[in-house]
Amino acid sequence: MKNQFYPFIQELQNTITTAFESLDTKVRFEEDVWKRPEGGGGHTRVIEQGDVIEKGGINISAVHGTLPESMQVQFNVTNADFYACGLSLVIHPKNPMAPTVHANWRFFELYTPKGEVVDQWFGGGLDLTPYYIFEEDIRHFHQVCKKVCDDHHPEYYARFKKQCDTYFYNSHRKEARGVGGLFFDYLRENKEFTLQSRYDFVTHVANSFLTAYLPILLRTKDLPFTSKQREWQEIRRGRYVEFNLVHDKGTLFGLKTNGRIESILMSLPPKVQWRYNHQPIEKSEEARLLTVLKNPKDWIH
């Protein structure tokens, strides 16, 4: 399966890179090929200071080796080796009317010391983090997610949408990071699903990413905005940073497995503010965003 999934994310990285470069003619993605001393490596592609994208990254990696003790406790295994590959992307547009987007699709295997596979699973998803609420854009994003899910199982969208709302949640702020999307993990082979069917679902979700996000970016990237709205974007980006550094399992896994720090922290936006006890004006568009983030919505119905 890993020999099937890794070439898929290699091709997907190229497809998504080309799509975003066609929008931002000022700059191009720079690629950094790196190797992990313990085993494996990756291709990090970063774009910065563009007319449309202020900072973005589309990374793939395939790493392997001995699972750290802290992760062995988490997975309830001993003396285990692992293999993990995946694609992770974050796009932070320059215009505060355009939402940040994040996506990740990954495959994981655990082995005995003799190299026998003892566990395999897929994980990933995609989620949207707006700074201003445009309901038609959020509905479009969720409709694309639901259509893909419905092609594979009638309960997938409701289940993975809820998991996304639960996972991307800043519990210390009592608010969601964004307006959700899909999040799934530990998609294993079982009595109902083969590992190939899990692969088919995850790759279908991954291939739907540009359909879900690009129309939103095209509609919002050139909208007028004020310095105050830009300031609000930077304050809200601070919440994004807080989630990634405090709660995100992918970040923590990368740090615990001696991952490449530049690639792990690629997701952080370039310009961020933390204001002491900042509160938006009552009934403003900024306040409307906070109301939505404190109460996850059904965006389809």
**Alpha-carbon span 44 to 60, nearest angstrom:** 6
The position carrying tokens 């939103």 is 216
* H-state helical runs in the chain: 2-21, 69-75, 135-150, 156-167, 195-207, 209-220, 227-246, 249-256, 261-264, 285-294
CA angle 40, 114, 73 (to 5 degrees): 70
Selected catalytic residue, list 43, 64, 102, 142 = 102
**Alpha-carbon span 280 to 228, nearest angstrom:** 11
**Alpha-carbon span 283 to 198, nearest angstrom:** 44
11: Cα separation from own chain's centroid: 18
102 part of the active site: yes
Q: Which residues does the annotation mark as catalytic?
A: 102
